[in-house]
Structure 1
Amino acid sequence: MKTLIDYGIDVAGKHGVEVKTTCPQCSSSRKKKNYPCLNVNTEKGVWNCWHCGWSGTLQGGEWQKPEIRKVYSKPVFAPVEKPSEGLGAWFAKRGISAEVLQRNRISSGEAYFPQVEEERNCIMFPYYRGAEVVNVKYRTKDKLFRMSAGAERILYGVNDISTEALVWVEGEIDKLSVEMAGSMSCVSVPDGAPAPDSKSYSNKFDFLNEKILADVKYHIIAVDNDAPGVRLQEELVRRLGREKCLVVVWPEDCKDANEVLMTHGAEVLGDCIANARRLPIEGTYQVEDFRATLRDRFQYGAPKGTSSGWKGLDPFYNVMTGEWTLVTGIPGSGKSEWLDALTVNLARDHGWTFGIFSPENQPLEYHVDKIAEKFVGKSVEKGAADRMTDAEHEDAMDWVNDHYTFILPELPTVDGLLETAQALVLSRGIRGLVIDPWNEIDHSRAAAISETEHISQCLSKIRQFARNNGMHVWVVAHPRIMRKEEGKYPVPTPYDVAGSAHWRNKADNCITVHWDQVKGGETVQIHIQKVRKKQNGRIGLVELNYDKATGQYSSEPNYYPKIVDRKTREAA
């Protein structure tokens, strides 16, 4: 296995587990050439540069190349010495003092709001990093919001972060309310909480790149007590780490920090934050920990997985986060092709992002072309009857870039792949991980451990990883050598997968992709052979139509998803 020196990383004799040093990728080209922007965990062999984004592990190799840093515009903002009387009176009704307004340099003025296509009087919340105003949030009294165009979206209150503990809220007024209760170390996310049905929310967390966040010991999540707030809380806990997070419970008559301040006062608000409860110890649970969830299940039914995108398949198989699926089939049956199409459906319809380990689909340009064809519904091949246009090709490349990260370590191991995927959960918010195929992973093991024991341990790690990170993992594994029956291969079962019966026992879902190699044709069989949770499907067989030119599948004759251009999608 390579060492840090092989990647040009010099810890310069520093001792300890967590050390900082210069980055071999970007430090030489920066003004502050000696600034230690590369964080290195010498114990795990993991590194990450907070400046250029270069990251990797000794086990998995580089997983993210240096990025070209975005160029942001800087807003024009003139801070006032003292807020106006009208502004002070408006905030006083919400329990916020003039001193807190002045410290945070909040002022009022006019700004253009595209929602109503006119200028309006508004409150201006400057977003500072150090002494520099990086962005400005504009808010009217009737709750129109906008931020400075082209400016960087950072956390509101970055300068107040303490590494001992940090309170997270979802609005600037909530951050000021927490300050009134005596807690200065508090930040607000720049865009608030997502709508419950928003699809592309998981890729809007660039603000987590603030390097000081890596040193925070405890994160106190104090977001709104409503459906968007619950979703924001889940995503923050997932990315920041469950073991480092505490959750605030608001009084029943309040949904956020400012309501508590106005209704009960600063002391009660401070008590709510001080009494933030830890999430349950891993592996131990009490009914009280999920009583609200039980009520929802009783009233609305158990939650179901996400639609596969094929109406004919949905009664049999839906994709549930926190689970993993075994995909098998004889060589040439189209396992990888079908799995690529499934990820395209999830990304297009539900905004999922993915980490993809698929070394057999190389070069990467070939793999991206296949995904692009499934997305657009047209071929990339020169001379094809229905070839995508230059604009469609550019749009497809942008879309694939937004939703897929390809993982190609030099020596792939289960631990290394999961470690890389864990980093992608934080940086890109991936919801799915594809391991395709199993036999391309290095399975070196101690002589005392049998193949069955090794597979059992690996599958347990994969299952725990999926549960801990609220994501779905697909593992493609080939069956052992099979004999033909009457001139064709039988449909493999999970028990036919090489190595161990644990493939059937430990999987949440088992799917066999089968194509009749004697009969041929454009019909592919999807055999659903195990579904752990009844609300997510049942055992059965579904036939999908396959379009060889585009790689798309459909469960209805001559039907393929209609793709719209990027601007139309974003507007929707």
Structure 2
Amino acid sequence: MKTFDDFGIDLRGRTGVEVKTTCPKCSPSRRKKNYPCLSVNTEKGLWNCHHCGWGGSLGHGEERRPEAPKIYRRPDYVLNRTDLPQAVVDYFAGRGISQGTLLRNCIGYGSQYFPQVEEERTCVMFPYLDGDEVINVKYRTGDKLFRLASGAQRVLYGLNDVDAVLIWVEGEMDKLSVEEGGFKNCVSVPDGAPTPDTKNYDSKFDFLDCEQLASVREHIIAVDDDAPGRRLQEELVRRLGRDKCLIVTWPEGCKDANDVLIKLGPEALQKCIEDAQPVPIEGTYSVTDFRSEILRRYEGEVRRGVSTGWPGMDGHYTVLEGEWTLVTGIPGHGKSEWLDALAVHLAQQHGWNFGMFSPENFPADYHSEKLMEKFIGKPFAAGPNDRMDVAELDRAMDFLADHFTFMMPESPSLDALLEQASRLVTRKGIRGLIMDPWNEIEHGRTAGQTETDYISLALSKIRKFCWAHGVHTWVVAHPAKLYKDKDSGDYPIPTPYDVSGSAHWRNKADNCITVYRHVKDENKPVEIHIQKIRKKFVGRVGMVELQYDRVTGQYRDYAHFTRAPIYSLQNRGSA
């Protein structure tokens, strides 16, 4: 068998089962060449790079090739400029920004083409620096036309000022304003805030894949007090972690840092930042904790679950961020197929990104083929039906690359999965997490701990993760053994109380769903039984029929109506 040396992996004399080292594929070309981004399991002979995605095993060789690095253009820009026209210096002075701050941040002035007006305009230039290297430049005209340098990498403005405590603002002018207030440890997002109706935030937050942020222990969020700014605040808190974030509240009549600087002065701005408040601790609340939610509702933004993509189901079940859903059903009845189809719908219609722990569907290329069939609506393999063509295959692979990440930690304990999912929230902005099935997770009960107690604690961890990160999690759990009805030959419809291990499955879940099909007559529609809904604006208890297409794995509305469920929970607890 080959050794790690055969693949260029240098363990540097380190011993143990789990070893961190540099990646031979991407480390030589990175700024931090000695950063240990490659995880190696010496016992199983496996490796995986968390930066470029290169992975494999000693037995089978490379299984995932490194992603081709993006080639970015470096804009021409002269540092240490001292040639700002007096009119520009006066303009900034009117905004409270001193010439010393302009010089420290290498602010420039010149002409650039603006596609919005299809002409060249004079503009202020804000260089985005990493050390002495100019990574990007933001150009801004006097009448507020903006553009970044074409083909340049989108990074945080102020990378050189990242520190253990970091202030986040929404624009370059606010970053300079915070410096006037006495804080250099401030960065601005490169593109401003996404609009509140933006579906897919993934590309908007590429700047979070940044080595400098790893050392930050506290984030102070000081973005604009308007609808886009509040949306940006929520997303930053979700990705950076609630426990690490403090929130700045601007005084009445001030929308952002520069407003405070102009109207109230640098001391007032300094005090606003020093008075930043932690994101509320779970289980304790005051009305100020709900300020952004209340303002959004006041402005007409009503919190709702998003559509499943099946109109007939949306009256009974929608998907709300921060909740978790139990999915159960008899083995072979299509739980995983239905859940995959739901994930594809959410990715297509709402731009959701997913972390997928689904070991029964491994290897990941097999799972990918099934998801692509659901996306395209044609089979992957050759056969009696028209298969997807090469262009459709390409489109499907791009779609999966944008929206799905397959998870398989070396030791898939619940803690390891939730830790990996937390990293995916930061890096990929996942809004959905699928754990399918529960019995493939490694469960380690402590001595004397009952299964019921363990499940209660485990489900509480899942709920805390969902709440902290604004992620919806689906957990697939099998029922205990059921027996066929002697007359019909069908199994009874499982309920949450039938799930192996504990009644906590039903009690702690926000939503409970059973996928059921008739074994004796496969032409009958698949029944989706919604057996618990915690929040009434998410849906209601009932049953929906879907038609399953075995060729493509897609589900379609069987009819745009629902009927009363054919099971009863009256003797097993209320819905």
Which TM-score band (shorter chain)? Answer: 0.7 to 0.9
C-alpha distance in 1 between matches for 2:136 and 2:413: 42
Aligned to 1:549: 551
Residue range with higher mean Cα deviation, 416-425 or 199-208: 199-208
* C-alpha spacing 1:10/1:389, structure 2 compared with 1 (3 Å): closer
Aligned to 1:563: none
Residue range with higher mean Cα deviation, 299-308 or 385-394: 299-308
Q: 1:21·1:36 contact (CA, 8 Å) conserved in 2?
A: no
Superposition deviation, residue 152 in structure 1: 1.1
Q: 1:37·1:50 contact (CA, 8 Å) conserved in 2?
A: no
Residue range with higher mean Cα deviation, 527-536 or 481-490: 481-490
Aligned to 1:154: 155
C-alpha distance in 1 between matches for 2:411 and 2:230: 39
Aligned to 2:225: 225
* C-alpha spacing 1:174/1:48, structure 2 compared with 1 (3 Å): farther
Q: 2:241·2:468 contact (CA, 8 Å) conserved in 1?
A: no
C-alpha distance in 1 between matches for 2:95 and 2:238: 32
Superposition deviation, residue 28 in structure 1: 7.2
Aligned to 1:246: 246
Deviations 1:76-114 (A, max 9, x none): 223432311232233233222233222222222222223
C-alpha distance in 2 between matches for 1:301 and 1:206: 26
Q: 1:372·1:397 contact (CA, 8 Å) conserved in 2?
A: yes
1:515 pairs with 2:514: no
* C-alpha spacing 1:260/1:452, structure 2 compared with 1 (3 Å): same
Superposition deviation, residue 517 in structure 1: 1.5
Aligned to 2:5: none
Superposition deviation, residue 520 in structure 1: 1.1
Aligned-partner SS, 2:500: coil
Q: 2:26·2:52 contact (CA, 8 Å) conserved in 1?
A: no
Aligned to 1:569: none
Deviations 1:98-136 (A, max 9, x none): 332222222222222233333232222111111111111
1:138 pairs with 2:139: yes
C-alpha distance in 2 between matches for 1:132 and 1:347: 37
Give 1:269's aligned amino acid. Answer: L
Q: 1:219·1:246 contact (CA, 8 Å) conserved in 2?
A: yes
C-alpha distance in 1 between matches for 2:119 and 2:555: 47
C-alpha distance in 2 between matches for 1:282 and 1:437: 28
Superposition deviation, residue 10 in structure 1: 5.8
C-alpha distance in 2 between matches for 1:472 and 1:28: 34
For 1:186-201, list aligned pairs within 5 A: 186-201=186-201
Aligned to 1:23: 22
Aligned to 1:95: 96
TM-score between both structures, scaled by the size of structure 2:
0.86
C-alpha distance in 1 between matches for 2:292 and 2:444: 45
Q: 1:113·1:146 contact (CA, 8 Å) conserved in 2?
A: yes
C-alpha distance in 2 between matches for 1:306 and 1:64: 34
C-alpha distance in 2 between matches for 1:299 and 1:106: 37
Deviations 1:346-386 (A, max 9, x none): 11111111110111112322211111121122222224543
Superposition deviation, residue 302 in structure 1: 6.2
* C-alpha spacing 1:32/1:405, structure 2 compared with 1 (3 Å): closer
Aligned-partner SS, 1:536: coil
* C-alpha spacing 1:508/1:144, structure 2 compared with 1 (3 Å): same
Superposition deviation, residue 411 in structure 1: 3.2
Give 2:267's aligned amino acid. Answer: E
Aligned-partner SS, 2:359: coil
Aligned-partner SS, 2:312: coil
Aligned to 1:43: none
Superposition deviation, residue 457 in structure 1: 1.7
Aligned-partner SS, 2:497: helix
1:404 pairs with 2:386: no
- Higher RCO by CA contacts (8 Å cutoff, separation 6 or greater): 1
Q: 1:302·1:535 contact (CA, 8 Å) conserved in 2?
A: no
1:170 pairs with 2:176: no
* C-alpha spacing 1:189/1:65, structure 2 compared with 1 (3 Å): farther
Aligned-partner SS, 1:249: coil
Give 2:134's aligned amino acid. Answer: V
TM-score between both structures, scaled by the size of structure 1:
0.86
C-alpha distance in 1 between matches for 2:217 and 2:333: 49
Aligned to 1:183: 183
C-alpha distance in 2 between matches for 1:417 and 1:98: 50
Deviations 1:290-328 (A, max 9, x none): 255357658859622111111111111111111110001
Aligned-partner SS, 1:356: strand
C-alpha distance in 2 between matches for 1:220 and 1:124: 26
C-alpha distance in 2 between matches for 1:104 and 1:260: 21
Residue range with higher mean Cα deviation, 375-384 or 263-272: 375-384
Give 2:548's aligned amino acid. Answer: Y
Superposition deviation, residue 509 in structure 1: 0.3
* C-alpha spacing 1:536/1:103, structure 2 compared with 1 (3 Å): same
Runs of 5+ in structure 1 lacking a partner? 1-6, 15-19, 41-46, 57-62, 559-572
C-alpha distance in 2 between matches for 1:478 and 1:141: 63
Aligned-partner SS, 1:534: coil
Aligned-partner SS, 1:503: helix
Q: 1:305·1:318 contact (CA, 8 Å) conserved in 2?
A: yes
C-alpha distance in 2 between matches for 1:247 and 1:213: 18
* C-alpha spacing 1:328/1:69, structure 2 compared with 1 (3 Å): same
Superposition deviation, residue 71 in structure 1: 2.2
C-alpha distance in 1 between matches for 2:136 and 2:126: 9
C-alpha distance in 1 between matches for 2:483 and 2:212: 59
* C-alpha spacing 1:193/1:469, structure 2 compared with 1 (3 Å): same
Give 1:210's aligned amino acid. Answer: C
C-alpha distance in 1 between matches for 2:470 and 2:30: 40
Q: 2:23·2:49 contact (CA, 8 Å) conserved in 1?
A: no
RMSD over aligned Cα, in angstroms?
A: 3.1
Superposition deviation, residue 268 in structure 1: 1.4
For 1:119-518, list aligned pairs within 5 A: 119-163=120-164, 165-291=165-291, 293-294=293-294, 303-485=303-485, 486=487, 487-518=489-520
Residue range with higher mean Cα deviation, 403-412 or 318-327: 403-412
Give 1:131's aligned amino acid. Answer: D
Q: 2:230·2:292 contact (CA, 8 Å) conserved in 1?
A: no
Superposition deviation, residue 488 in structure 1: 0.9
Q: 2:525·2:558 contact (CA, 8 Å) conserved in 1?
A: no
Give 1:474's aligned amino acid. Answer: W
C-alpha distance in 2 between matches for 1:226 and 1:188: 16
Aligned-partner SS, 1:125: strand
C-alpha distance in 2 between matches for 1:383 and 1:49: 37
Q: How many residues align?
A: 537
Aligned-partner SS, 2:187: strand
C-alpha distance in 1 between matches for 2:497 and 2:84: 71
Q: 2:250·2:256 contact (CA, 8 Å) conserved in 1?
A: yes
C-alpha distance in 1 between matches for 2:121 and 2:27: 47
* C-alpha spacing 1:103/1:549, structure 2 compared with 1 (3 Å): same
* C-alpha spacing 1:174/1:28, structure 2 compared with 1 (3 Å): closer
* C-alpha spacing 1:489/1:448, structure 2 compared with 1 (3 Å): same
Runs of 5+ in structure 2 lacking a partner? 1-7, 40-46, 57-62, 561-575
Residue range with higher mean Cα deviation, 213-222 or 308-317: 213-222
Aligned-partner SS, 1:204: helix
Q: 1:94·1:262 contact (CA, 8 Å) conserved in 2?
A: yes
Deviations 1:58-78 (A, max 9, x none): xxxxx9986443221111223
Residue range with higher mean Cα deviation, 319-328 or 87-96: 87-96
